[in-house]
Amino acid sequence: MTEPHPLEYLTFEGEIPQGEYGAGSMTVWDIGTVMLEKWRDDEVIGTFTGRAGGRLGSARLALIRTEGEGEKSQWLLHRMPDAGAPRTKQHTRQRTNPHLSQRTSQPALQDAPEHAHEAARERGDAARIRPMLAETGTPGLARALSTPSWAEVKWDGIRAIGTWADDRLTLRARSGTDITGRYPELTSPSSLSLPASDAVVDGEIVAFDAQGRPSFSRLQDRMHLTRAREIEREAARTPVRYVLFDLMRLDGHDLSRLPLRQRRELLEQLTADVTAPVQVPPVFDDLDAALAVSARYGLEGVVAKDPESGYRPGARSSSWLKLKHTRTQEAVIVGIRPGRGNRSGTIGSLLLAVPDQDGSLRYVGRVGTGFTDRMLRDLAARLEPLRASSPGLAGVPSADASDAQWVRPELVGEVEFANWSPGGILRHARWRGLRPDKDPREVRQET
């Protein structure tokens, strides 16, 4: 951002002596005209055309203010596809590679030690970004968010923040755990290349069933593995994709204050030449259509979002509302009831609780269906080190507590259920899987 300059400065090139205003070398990069599409205080879009034989040629550029006011403001200069041009791979590669900014247009500064240190610090800060969270809503509340409505499929995977830096993608779970090594098909150098020096994206890691629908139960076979050989073997049987829906940082610029519609446009430009296993699915501008499509294909539901909303890391916001077709509840595992019959020697059911507002655990019932043999073996191995001599909560009915084996409340799982009883107990609960990406303190009862 700079103040207006006299027109006679337009063609000046040369050295301005030290001690004078603007001291240093002045070079004219190109001279030309701009045909404006949009002119606002925070966004300018136009087609810039340079002189014959100049460096610019013709380019459609967007200047987006990312923070600050007046001469202290900072702007992102982004090269966009020509209006109405087909988005072929050849075209998008040509148009989206130059994600221009102060940092990318001045490589000499970026290579200086102090700037390298600053860039590394900023990437470290980006790696600790916590995802923005949605509240539970209703179609009526969602329709009031915006007109037209904005809805995205709820992908039934695990949330992951992706940090692109030094030509590689790092993945972190919602808890902040580094899960890069668990998904080599997403993070190996041959899997992904983005036309940016750095970026931070938000999305979900999703496994699909034979019908091409998101399957949380299939993802269970991948999300707990940490040994390279096991990961490689299971990746061949259960491949995953990284479904992206937001962009919080690009080429050194914090985009969290930008409206979602602008972040989404930049995300689509950034990934225009990227193919599976990383994808950016379309959004719906008709909430009823989104709900109908997700129900028809047996999906979990949709997330309605306000396209004018900023990104609030780590916050649960009513600007995002999740609308589910089936009721699900996250819960903390507090005990085990031993199995009988064909379950003898393993887990019969799990005792569950959710934290109240004061942090104390409240018993919400048990779940004994929905387990596969593999799930039961994995649960037994994970719960064995957590065995406790007494319950970590009060109020467990004597019928459930009589033969219970207690565990420390450190693991979170998810169940489907029909409804809540008047006493606050889950009715007809069915196990969906562990949620290692969730902290027990974050669990809340769904309305």
Catalytic site residue from 38, 89, 154, 305: 154
Strands of 316-324's sheet in order across: 133-136, 316-324, 301-305, 151-154
Q: Which of 268, 235, 234, 225 is nearest to 250 (CA)?
A: 268
Which structure tokens are listed for 351? 């005792």
| Residues contacting 111, CB < 8 A, separation 6+ | none
For the question of residue 154 being annotated catalytic, the response is yes
Asked whether the bond before 184 is cis by omega within 30 degrees of 0, the reply is no
Per the CB < 8 A criterion, the answer to whether 283 and 150 are in contact is yes
Per the CB < 8 A criterion, the answer to whether 134 and 319 are in contact is no
Which structure tokens are listed for 386? 């957590």
Rounded CA Rg of the chain: 26
Q: Which of 365, 373, 367 is nearest to 345 (CA)?
A: 373
| Sign of the dihedral through C-alpha 222, 298, 349, 439 | positive
Which structure tokens are listed for 339? 């199995």
**CA–CA separation, 32 vs 183, rounded Å?**
48
Is residue 371 exposed (0-12), middle (13-18) or buried (19+ Cβ within 10 Å)? buried
Per the CB < 8 A criterion, the answer to whether 97 and 270 are in contact is no
What's the gap between Cα 447 and its chain centre? 24
| Sign of the dihedral through C-alpha 119, 438, 416, 424 | negative
Beta strands 347-355 and 327-338 are antiparallel
**CA–CA separation, 196 vs 101, rounded Å?**
10
Q: What three-state secondary structure class fits 162? A: strand
Active site residues: 154
